[in-house]
Amino acid sequence: MFDDKNPARTEISSLGEFGLIRHLTQYFPLVNKSSLKGVGDDAAVVQYNKDEQTLISTDLLLEGVHFDLAWMPLQHLGYKAVAVNLSDIAAMNGTPQQILVSIGVSSRFPVEALEELYSGMKLACDKFKVDLIGGDTSSSVIGLAISITVLGKAKADEIVYRNGAKPNDLICVSGDLGGAYAGLLVLQREKKTFEANPNFQPDLQGLEYAIERQLKPEPRLDVVDLLRNAGIKPSSMIDISDGLSSELYHICSQSGTGCSIYEDKIPFDFETSKIAEEFNVSSMTMALHGGEDYELLFTVPLNDYEKIKDNNDILVIGHITDKNEGLNLISKIGQSIALKAQGWDSFKSDE
């Protein structure tokens, strides 16, 4: 039995987010034949008929941890809450179909505020043709909490997991990286300035792209369609929610491989570079460790290169190697630097 006065205790921060998940779920074996994939990927997989499988994923967003209402409009928050869940289905090469929404809300929020929140959810549902089919509501003493469960579908032979990467596979990303983190830095700065001077009016001209990447990310379901139309099934895939370095670690650790990515191939927008310079942070640091871009990171066999080389939405940034070579970033001058997973971890100690 847990005793909070017992000094012999393990701090959650010593395990980290994913270590905690593994620790708590290691004694939950799958016992139903319909449960094909449980904890450990972007979505769980269950099968109720022989032709298609169901993908299920859930995310929890907490005020003060995952979002700050000082800068996050409620309509944007509703849209983002749905979008980040749909991204998990995209990362499994599937199609999202339904969501269930549960919220915990304090008395400081009027009905009109919740209408704004749900109007953003509806925008996302309408855009991506997803149905809201249920959920739950509860009072909260800690502010606003949003939990969304998404259900999707995919044919059994089309689902892509994190563990399928093989040596010599190409490592690809969609879009550009680091923009969401750049936007977060700007918003945090503007909040501090406003708190010091409530009459301050922020000037965000020229920073719209990065701020939108933070406030209103888009799930890359279009890339899933693009790959399918090109006749490409990735060997592994994950969405970039916690940072490129962390997502590469997940793919390589679950696939039993290493990787090499190239500094001059990592894509980031000009605006991201401008903000990085302003904050004295390298664009590469933002791209590798920033997180919340919700682009897709995936691997494809080398012989698929001809199918993707001319597509502007996909960039090859490296290749998979043998496990004993580790994870490496190759600098512009050819130096190999060990790549560490330093992306977002909600339980990571600040020390």
At residue 31, the pLDDT reads 63
pLDDT at 34 over 70: no
Phi, psi for 43 (deg, rounded to 5) = -150, 155
Topology given in CATH for the domain delimited by 17-26+36-155: 60s Ribosomal Protein L30; Chain: A; (3.30.1330)
Q: Which sequence spans correspond to the domains of the chain?
A: 17-26+36-155, 170-338
- Give the global pTM: 0.85
Among 152, 57, 151, 64, CA closest to 104: 64
At residue 348, the pLDDT reads 53
Q: Which residue has the tokens 């909070």?
A: 4
Q: Which residue has the tokens 């708590």?
A: 24
What is the rounded distance in angstroms from the CA atom of residue 39 to the CA atom of residue 277?
Answer: 39
> 17-26+36-155 and 170-338 share one CATH topology?
no
pLDDT at 309 over 70: yes
Among 5, 6, 7, 26, CA closest to 15: 26
For the record, the structure tokens of 296 come out as: 């897709």
Topology given in CATH for the domain delimited by 170-338: Phosphoribosyl-aminoimidazole Synthetase; Chain A, domain 2 (3.90.650)
Do strands 95-105 and 52-62 pair parallel, antiparallel, or not at all (unpaired)? unpaired
pLDDT at 244 over 80: yes
